[in-house]
Amino acid sequence: MADSQVASRMALLLQRSPDQETALRQLLDQQQDKSSPNYHKWLLPDQFGKQFGPADADIQAVTDWLTTRGFTGVKVSAGRTTIEFSGNIGQVRNAFQTEIHHYLVNGKMHMANVSDPQIPAALAPVVAGVVSLHDFRPKAQAHRLGTFRKTKATGEVSRCSRSRDADRAERNLATQLALVISRKSTTFPPAHPTAPA
């Protein structure tokens, strides 16, 4: 791919410290506990970011790194969970030490990274990984299987109606689940391979 080709809306996924993760898990439990003073006390994105996001200095280090590599539109999410940025293919290759190629998948042309993106070791405590160096978009995994009703007296759930499409979707879903289970020995690459800063 040409170095000058635009690569927009890429994102880095940020991670919280182990202490913040523990505090977040406790808050989530408290928000569901009716006896807790935090029961159903939800946080706004900016409150969440201040309480559970990376420190200002850490975020500044990541945004400075992106900017010095020529990326533009660098924007930190309100919840401090992602940093979105744009640039071109040449900048992606140089910053993340990976090539971007075209791939023909199911009759459609897509672009994606060839290898795992590399992140400087100095940023590894803050950056969990690169979310999107490709143009594959997620597809809905929900399949309507029919209409159901629940009997109040017994709590029994029964199907009201069923279509052939629902039967087919259920079989496909069972097949996909079987494939996932059969791949249980698959190993996955680390979340964020590191490279020298």
Examine residue 123 and state whether it is found in any structural domain, yes or no.
yes
**CA-CA-CA-CA torsion sign (27, 33, 37, 40):** positive
Contact 59, 78 (CB under 8 A): no
Taking residues 158-180, report their average pLDDT.
63
Examine residue 189 and state whether it is found in any structural domain, yes or no.
no
Taking residues 47-51, report their average pLDDT.
95
pLDDT band at 169; cut points 50, 70, 90: low
Which pLDDT belongs to residue 155?
A: 78
Q: How many domains does the chain have?
A: 2
Examine residue 155 and state whether it is found in any structural domain, yes or no.
yes
Does pLDDT of 195 surpass 90?
no
Do 156 and 82 reside in the same domain of the chain?
Answer: no
Taking residues 58-81, report their average pLDDT.
97
Do 127 and 159 reside in the same domain of the chain?
Answer: no
Examine residue 163 and state whether it is found in any structural domain, yes or no.
yes
Q: Which domain holds residue 158?
A: 147-182
Does pLDDT of 162 surpass 70?
no
Does pLDDT of 180 surpass 60?
no
Structure tokens at 145: 């299987």
Do 151 and 71 reside in the same domain of the chain?
Answer: no
Examine residue 131 and state whether it is found in any structural domain, yes or no.
yes
Which pLDDT belongs to residue 82?
A: 97
129 φ/ψ sector (left φ>0, alpha ψ -120 to 50, else beta): left
Do 69 and 162 reside in the same domain of the chain?
Answer: no
Do 90 and 111 reside in the same domain of the chain?
Answer: yes
Which pLDDT belongs to residue 141?
A: 78
Residues in the chain: 197
For the chain, give the percent of residues with pLDDT over 90. Answer: 59
Examine residue 197 and state whether it is found in any structural domain, yes or no.
no
Do 132 and 158 reside in the same domain of the chain?
Answer: no
Contact 31, 99 (CB under 8 A): no
Do 105 and 10 reside in the same domain of the chain?
Answer: yes
- Strand residues in the chain grouped as ranges (E): 6-14, 72-76, 82-88, 100-105, 108-113, 119-120, 127-130, 147-150, 157-161, 194-195
Taking residues 23-31, report their average pLDDT.
96
Do 130 and 171 reside in the same domain of the chain?
Answer: no
Do 102 and 168 reside in the same domain of the chain?
Answer: no
Do 88 and 171 reside in the same domain of the chain?
Answer: no
Does pLDDT of 81 surpass 60?
yes
Does pLDDT of 178 surpass 60?
no
Does pLDDT of 139 surpass 50?
yes
Rounded Cα distance, 54 and 14, in Å: 7
Rounded Cα distance, 132 and 96, in Å: 12
Examine residue 153 and state whether it is found in any structural domain, yes or no.
yes
The pTM of this model reads: 0.69
pLDDT band at 152; cut points 50, 70, 90: confident
Rounded Cα distance, 13 and 81, in Å: 6
Do 60 and 129 reside in the same domain of the chain?
Answer: yes
Do 79 and 164 reside in the same domain of the chain?
Answer: no
pLDDT band at 189; cut points 50, 70, 90: very low
Examine residue 41 and state whether it is found in any structural domain, yes or no.
no
Of the listed ranges 62-71, 140-149, 166-175, the one predicted with least confidence = 166-175
Taking residues 127-150, report their average pLDDT.
81
